[in-house]
Amino acid sequence: MAVSISVLVAVVSLHLMAFVLAIGAERRRSTAKVTPDQYDDYNYCVYASDASTAYGLSAFGLLLISQTVVNGVTRCLCFGKGLVRGLSRKMTIFFFILSWISFLGAEACLLAGSAKNAYHTRYRTIYGGDDLSCETLRKGVFAGGAALTFISMVASIVYYLLHLKADTGGWEKHQSEGLGMASLEQQGLGNAVRFEKL
């Protein structure tokens, strides 16, 4: 199996777009302030835009597509023809696990951040009751998702390249089976002699 530039370009560009959207989501998190109504009877929360939620969900989708591409091409390491034993195989398995752990962590951060960012406090206080808490997303959730997205990109690329190096493509070398050069030459001479006799 040869290195496919189109697979590498697709994986890198999808991860980078997800990374940029996660950074954008971090910068555009919803903010809220407590505002009294026009008669000063009630306090309620006024939230800024929800652009961060859309950015986070878009990054979530792009990252999911990228992980699907890598694991579809490599057959998720589980359904392939086999890997050559040795250091390449061990490193392939390590980066496969790292790519999945970072992928799942990034997806969790992006999804949880989007859900929390979309949540707006609905209750309000009346006549100077308890202080109203306008819940907003904590700083750093989308940034954590962006960092894990970058780690996932690096791990996925290294996993893909190592998988190509360790992939047997169905051809495995067996020690007891194999033809030496001498037996091939003898078989060729035998066929040539038999052809002349016919």
Q: What DSSP character marks residue 75?
A: G
* pLDDT of the residue at 164: 86
Phi, psi at residue 183, to the nearest 5°? -70, -30
* pLDDT of the residue at 131: 64
- Residue 3 identity (one-letter amino acid): V
Mean pLDDT by 10 residues, the chain (198 residues): 83 97 92 77 78 94 96 79 78 94 97 89 57 80 96 96 76 49 52 52
* pLDDT of the residue at 124: 59
> How many Å apart are CA 101 and CA 128, to the nearest integer?
48
Q: What DSSP character marks residue 28?
A: T
* pLDDT of the residue at 125: 56
Q: How many C-beta neighbours within 10 Å does residue 168 have? A: 14
E strand or H helix that includes residue 37: none
* pLDDT of the residue at 118: 85
* pLDDT of the residue at 48: 80
Tokens 């493509």 belong to 169
* pLDDT of the residue at 170: 47
> How many Å apart are CA 113 and CA 141, to the nearest integer?
6
* pLDDT of the residue at 86: 80
Q: Which pair of tokens denotes residue 15?
A: 């991860």
CA dihedral sign, ordered 81, 77, 72, 13? negative
* pLDDT of the residue at 95: 95
Q: Where are the domains of the chain?
A: 5-197
For every residue of 182-196, DSSP letters joined together read HHHHHHHHHHHHHHH
